[in-house]
A and B are shown apart, each in its own frame.
Chain A
Amino acid sequence: MSDFNRRKFLEGTAGMATLGTGALWTPSAGAQTLAYKPEKGARLRVLRWSRFVQGDIDAYMVNVKKFTEKTGIEVRVDNEGWEDVRPKAAVAANTGAGPDVILSTNDDANLYPDKLLDVTDLCEYLGKKYGGWYPACEAYLRPDGKKWIGVALGAAGSLVVYRESHVKAAGFDSVPKDTDGFLKLYKALAAKGTPGGMALGNATGDSGWCHWLLWAFGGAMVDKDNKVTLDSPATLKALEYAKELYASFVPGTLSWLDPNNNKAFLDGQISITNNGISVYYAAKNSPDPKLKEIAADINHAAFPIGPVGVPTEYHLFFNQMIFKYTKYPQAAKEFLRFMMEQEQFDPWLQGGGGYVAQPLRAYEKSAVWTVDPKHTPYRDSVKNLRPAGYAGRLGYASAGALADFIVPNMVAEAGSGSKTPKEAMERAQKRAERYYKV
């Protein structure tokens, strides 16, 4: 990704913002075309995560069908829950047999980079054509800064989801953009009897806000050389903040797993939480008039920016990996190219109803972000995203530390007061050091 392209893109599209939704926008001027020659008799097997919103799967399958019609290549798509894709993909990498293409999550590609097909040419082409990749995509999929080991698909944004009327009643026009104001909002909501809450149990997705919190105050699990740096004044500040925030939470958040906040929110028991757009999507598309009413009152906001001064969001990142063992590497590349082109990717983004945010800057113009103003905050999810192993190298250590809930446990211990912030921090430092083997 070069600045030159991005600037050119912005110039090229500046005049098009006035276009009505649904109109196709043209990609970067002077974009070249690229096509791979699929092998004769090629067939592809794709394993992908599923399924948070039905519209995503429907739109994806429409694109797959289009691909088969155009190229004659038969594509079989298998769906698995996203947490089950990881072991399957790892076994495929290890045994050298399995699906040709796997859509995986987070740092999966960094666990077996040498088993993955080099897709540098494809990524450079897409980057040039669609305004460049966001930095997070490179952090995940271009670990050495040169070779791309996978094609970024996007991320499921996890943002602040709130009830507009309750926030107004608490004396706020919108969710504050700084951490101090954010805390004040939580306190005001609790005082009004309409508290908020975020998951502090071993929730694989929704406990991700703990990473945002740590980073917002300048803390990080490791530095650039993978040296553990949790034991720091910045972490301590984040944990002191967590303690105050937790005091305003609805009771029971320590036990919350991924579905709890959705249930409590849709039942009107909490007024603010963190989640993907799926809560809104579910409420909006529900036949239940009560839920439709809640949907009208739901709004979204980006996570506030802490003392560190830049967005520090954590979202579920999606990769597309081609394995070296595939018999049809050209067909697989052509498939990914096809799926990432505007004619397919844009309708797919729209089908997801904002659930997935794009990895390429040009898709910021996608109609999905303007068709409903409540979608807009999710647009920048990949732009503002940090990988869970920030700021170090991704691999087994970062994956292990993430799966062991080291950061969420630390925030939960300090927040709930079961340990002092200092104790919680020191314990987390020790646990992290075991993964990063000092």
Chain B
Amino acid sequence: MKPLLHRLQNSRNALGLAFMLPAAVLLLLFLTYPLGLGTWLGFTDAKIGRGGSWIGIENFDFLVGDSVSQLALFNTVFYTVVASIAKFVLGLWLAVLLNKNLPFKSFFRAVVLLPWIVPTALSAIAFWWIYDAQFSVVSWVLMKLGWIDRYVDFLGNPWNARFSTIVANVWRGVPFVAISLLAGLQTISPSYYEASAIDGATPWQQFRHVTLPLLSPIIAVVMTFSVLFTFTDFQLIYVLTRGGPLNSTHLMATLAFQRAIPGGALGEGAALATLMVPFLLAAIMFSYFGLQRRAWQQGGDK
């Protein structure tokens, strides 16, 4: 017995396997299994409280022809694209500002993170009051200023509701982008800026030809995450509108929940959630190939 144990303790392979095991179990149990189960459910007619049997692509067939699902897909893509671009522009701008030598620099850097650390559900409730049809503080101020003569219907008109939810999402997502890009900015050596300044580069040229290229690997990673978070957003919509008005803010995640849990159609909800995977994969591939190009630019093998 002892020699065997001794041998195992000295075997790289056995030890490696042993050390890897907890992580592998965690991944398999809490990631692979639920994902696999979710995908499988999408191909069944499972109802809540009742196991399902295999029905092939019937759920997907149904969803493709379903006008509410089509609307949810449009909403999700629109929400993700607009919110991600806004978060990127505002986040980069904020990062560049915070990278400057400001008074109370660390205070500002900490404060910027606040929207990110407040639980989403709580900030969503705050926005819910801000957008309220009767109690909106924004409408109230505009009324007092005499700029409008009736309350803005933030969440009651389909396009207003889409943009209102996007604003709330951007408010919440900007700190993540800004702080991550700020970290990236600080890795750029000041000598590049000094060199370009000696060559007579304007601040815009410095930004365009020094900051942006050196920051792009970080941008790719940060924006991938940002897109993933936005695409799968749930809490914000659920608190603000539950997908209304007229389903104009239903995202695929909220519709999947509505169909699966309150509606009881577990299989259909799972299929809807599975339909999100190709879009998420596309976002990841985009950043993966983006990163590869950077490696080549920086003198890598590829």
Give chain A's interface residues, CB within 8 Å of chain B: 83, 86-87, 89-91, 93-94, 111-112, 115, 200-204, 250-257, 260, 263-264, 267, 269, 396, 399-400, 403-405, 409, 412-413, 416, 418, 427, 430-431, 434
List chain B residues, Cβ under 8 A from A89. Answer: 49
List chain B residues, Cβ under 8 A from A405. Answer: 244, 247
B241 touches A201 (CB 8 A): yes
A427 touches B67 (CB 8 A): yes
Q: How many Å lie between the Cα of A256 and that of B247 in the bound state?
A: 13
- 21 residue pairs of the A-B complex, CB under 8 angstroms, read A83-B262, A86-B261, A87-B48, A94-B49, A111-B47, A111-B50, A112-B50, A203-B242, A250-B133, A251-B150, A251-B153, A253-B133, A256-B156, A260-B132, A260-B133, A399-B263, A400-B259, A403-B259, A405-B247, A418-B158, A431-B67
B265 touches A400 (CB 8 A): yes
A412 touches B133 (CB 8 A): no
B243 within 8 A of A: yes
- From the candidates B47, B151, B246, name the one contacting A412 in the complex (CB within 8 A): B246
List chain B residues, Cβ under 8 A from A260. Answer: 132-134
B68 touches A255 (CB 8 A): no
- From the candidates A112, A250, A412, A434, name the one contacting B134 in the complex (CB within 8 A): A250
The number of residue pairs between A and B whose CB atoms lie closer than 8 Å in the complex comes to 125
Q: How far is the CB of A432 from chain B (nearest CB, A)?
A: 12
List chain A residues, Cβ under 8 A from B247. Answer: 202, 405, 409
List chain A residues, Cβ under 8 A from B154. Answer: 255
Give chain B's interface residues, CB within 8 Å of chain A: 47-51, 62, 66-68, 131-135, 150-151, 153-158, 161, 241-247, 258-259, 261-265
Q: How many Å lie between the Cα of A409 and that of B68 in the bound state?
A: 11
B261 touches A255 (CB 8 A): no
List chain B residues, Cβ under 8 A from A400. Answer: 259, 263-265
> Is the contact region of chain B dominated by helix, strand, or loop, or is it mixed?
loop
Q: Are A202 and B49 also in contact (CB < 8 A) when A251-B156, A396-B264 are?
A: no
B264 touches A251 (CB 8 A): no
Q: How many Å lie between the Cα of A251 and that of B49 in the bound state?
A: 40
**Max count, chain A CB within 10 A of own CB: residue among B66, B67, B132, B161:** B132
- From the candidates A87, A201, A263, A430, name the one contacting B244 in the complex (CB within 8 A): A201
A91 touches B243 (CB 8 A): no
List chain A residues, Cβ under 8 A from B265. Answer: 396, 400
B246 touches A418 (CB 8 A): yes
List chain A residues, Cβ under 8 A from B156. Answer: 201, 251-256
Q: How far is the CB of B142 from chain A (nearest CB, A)?
A: 14
Q: Are A254 and B263 also in contact (CB < 8 A) when A200-B245, A202-B244, A404-B258 are?
A: no
List chain B residues, Cβ under 8 A from A431. Answer: 66-68
Q: How many Å lie between the Cα of A400 and that of B262 in the bound state?
A: 8
Q: How many Å lie between the Cα of A83 and that of B133 in the bound state?
A: 25
Q: How far is the CB of A406 from chain B (nearest CB, A)?
A: 9
List chain B residues, Cβ under 8 A from A203. Answer: 242
B51 touches A87 (CB 8 A): no
Q: How far is the CB of A208 from chain B (nearest CB, A)?
A: 14
A255 touches B245 (CB 8 A): yes
- From the candidates B131, B135, B150, B258, name the one contacting A403 in the complex (CB within 8 A): B258
B134 touches A404 (CB 8 A): no
Q: How many Å lie between the Cα of A409 and that of B246 in the bound state?
A: 6
List chain A residues, Cβ under 8 A from B155. Answer: 201, 252, 254-255
Q: How many Å lie between the Cα of A260 and that of B244 in the bound state?
A: 14
Q: How far is the CB of B262 from chain A (nearest CB, A)?
A: 4
Q: How many Å lie between the Cα of A257 and that of B258 in the bound state?
A: 15
A412 touches B49 (CB 8 A): no
List chain B residues, Cβ under 8 A from A204. Answer: 262
List chain B residues, Cβ under 8 A from A112. Answer: 49-50
B135 touches A267 (CB 8 A): yes
